[in-house]
Amino acid sequence: MADRKTALITGASFGIGAEFARIFAREGYNLVLVARTANKLRQLASELEKAHGTRSLILAADLTDPGAPAYVLDQTKRADLQVDVLVNNAGFGQYGLFVDNDLEECLRQIQLNVTTLTHLTRLYLPAMLERGSGGVLNVASTAAFQPGPLMAVYFATKAYVLLFSEAIANELQGTGVTVTCLCPGATTTEFHKRANATGMRLLRMGSMDAHTVAEDGYRALVAGKPVVISGFKNWLVAQSVRFSPRRLVTAIARKTQEE
Ligand SMILES: NC(=O)c1ccc[n+]([C@@H]2O[C@H](COP(=O)([O-])OP(=O)(O)OC[C@H]3O[C@@H](n4cnc5c(N)ncnc54)[C@H](OP(=O)(O)O)[C@@H]3O)[C@@H](O)[C@H]2O)c1
C-alpha cells in the first residue's frame, strides 16, 4: 500500500475527528491519529485496518503542550511519512462567564484551538509546497461569525481559525496546496459535555451528526473550497449576522448560549 496518501488528524479519538478518520480511510488514505486517549485511537485504527487495510500511526499527545507540534512532526519524520493532508480538528470549549472561568483552562483552550493549529500548519506546509500538492483542513465553527457571550474565548478562537485559514488559502493560490476551513454548527459529540454546556438553549434547536459534518469538510477539501459551513440552517444563520447590528447579534448569541 506504498502508494497510499497519508492524512494526519488531530482529535481523532472522538466526535468529528473520528469520523474524519473513517472517511479518509474509506478514501484509501493511511492515517496519523493524534489525541490524548490512546485506547480510543487504537480501537479506531484496528477498526479501519479491518475495514479498509488502513495503516495508522498513533500518537498519544496532549496538544496543549507547547512542545507537542514539534513532537508530532518528529514522529512522522521518523516513520518516514509524507503528510498529504493535515486536519486540524482538535479543540475544546469552556462554558461560563469569562471572569469566573478557570484561567489555566482558558489559556489551554487558546493554546490548542489557536496556537497548536497555527504551529502544525506552519510545520507541515513547507513540504507540501515543495511537492506542489497537499491540503490543510482546519475545523472552526459557526461560532466564528459572531461574538459568543458565555463562551467568549471559544468563539474568539474560532474567529481566528476562520480568518487565518481564509488568509493563507489566499496566499497559497496557484501553489497546488489548498486550505479549507470547516464551520460546523451544533454537532452531537462529546464537545458540549466536556465544555459543561449541555443546558444551552442552542442545543434545543437541534444538532447535526458528526459523520455528516465530517463529510461536508472532506468534500470541501477535495473541491479546494476555502470555507464550508455545514448544514443549510447554519449557513443561513451565518449569513444573517452579516447584515445585522453587531450589538443585536451579540445579544442574540447570548440568548442562544443561555440555559
Ligand atoms: N460539537 C460541536 O457542536 C462543534 C461545533 C462546531 C465546531 N466544533 C469543533 O469541532 C472540533 C472537534 O470537536 P468535537 O465536536 O468532535 O468534540 P469532541 O467529541 O469533544 O472531540 C474533541 C477531540 O479533540 C481532542 N482533544 C481535546 N483536547 C485535546 C488535547 N489537549 N490534546 C489532544 N487532543 C485533544 C479530543 O481527544 P482526547 O480527549 O482523546 O485528547 C477529541 O478527539 C473542535 O475543534 C470543535 O471546536 C464542534
Residue of the CA atom closest to atom 23 of ligand 1:
11
Q: Tell me the one-letter amino acid at 142.
A: T
Distance 235 CA to ligand 1 centre (A): 21
d(CA 55, CA 76): 13
Instruction: State the pLDDT at residue 74.
Output: 98
d(CA 229, CA 140): 9
Q: What ligand 1 atom has the least distance to the C-alpha of 91?
A: 45
Q: Tell me the one-letter amino acid at 209.
A: D
pLDDT-derived band at 188, boundaries 50, 70, 90: very high
> Pocket around ligand 1: residues whose beta carbon is below 6 Å from it?
11-17, 35-37, 62-64, 89-92, 112, 139, 141, 184, 186-187, 189-191, 194
Q: What ligand 1 atom has the least distance to the C-alpha of 93?
A: 47
pLDDT tens per residue, range 60-105: 999 999 999 999 999 999 999 999 999 999 999 999 999 999 999 9
Residue of the CA atom closest to atom 44 of ligand 1:
91
To the nearest whole percent, how much of the chain has pLDDT over 90? 95
d(CA 25, CA 129): 24
User: What average pLDDT does this structure show over 5-25?
Assistant: 98
pLDDT tens per residue, range 218-245: 999 999 999 999 999 999 999 999 999 9
To test the ligand 1 pocket, which listed residue (120, 191, 216) has its Cβ within 8 A of the most ligand atoms? 191
Distance 191 CA to ligand 1 centre (A): 6
Distance 236 CA to ligand 1 centre (A): 24
Instruction: State the pLDDT at residue 204.
Output: 86
Nearest to 116 by CA among 152, 84, 155, 73: 73
d(CA 178, CA 171): 10
Distance 89 CA to ligand 1 centre (A): 7
Instruction: Mention every residue, 6+ apart, whose C-beta is less than 8 A from residue 89.
Output: 9, 10, 11, 12, 16, 17, 20, 137, 139
pLDDT tens per residue, range 114-169: 999 999 999 999 999 999 999 999 999 999 999 999 999 999 999 999 999 999 99
To the nearest whole percent, how much of the chain has pLDDT over 70? 99
Q: What ligand 1 atom has the least distance to the C-alpha of 37?
A: 40
pLDDT-derived band at 1, boundaries 50, 70, 90: very low
Q: Which residues are catalytic?
A: 154
CB 8 within 8 A of CB 72: yes
Cell of 165: 485559514
User: 207: alpha, beta or left, given left = phi > 0 and alpha = psi -120 to 50?
Assistant: beta
pLDDT tens per residue, range 25-48: 999 999 999 999 999 999 999 999
Residue of the CA atom closest to atom 8 of ligand 1:
141
To test the ligand 1 pocket, which listed residue (9, 14, 229) has its Cβ within 8 A of the most ligand atoms? 14
pLDDT-derived band at 170, boundaries 50, 70, 90: very high
pLDDT-derived band at 205, boundaries 50, 70, 90: confident
Distance 234 CA to ligand 1 centre (A): 19
Instruction: State the pLDDT at residue 2.
Output: 54
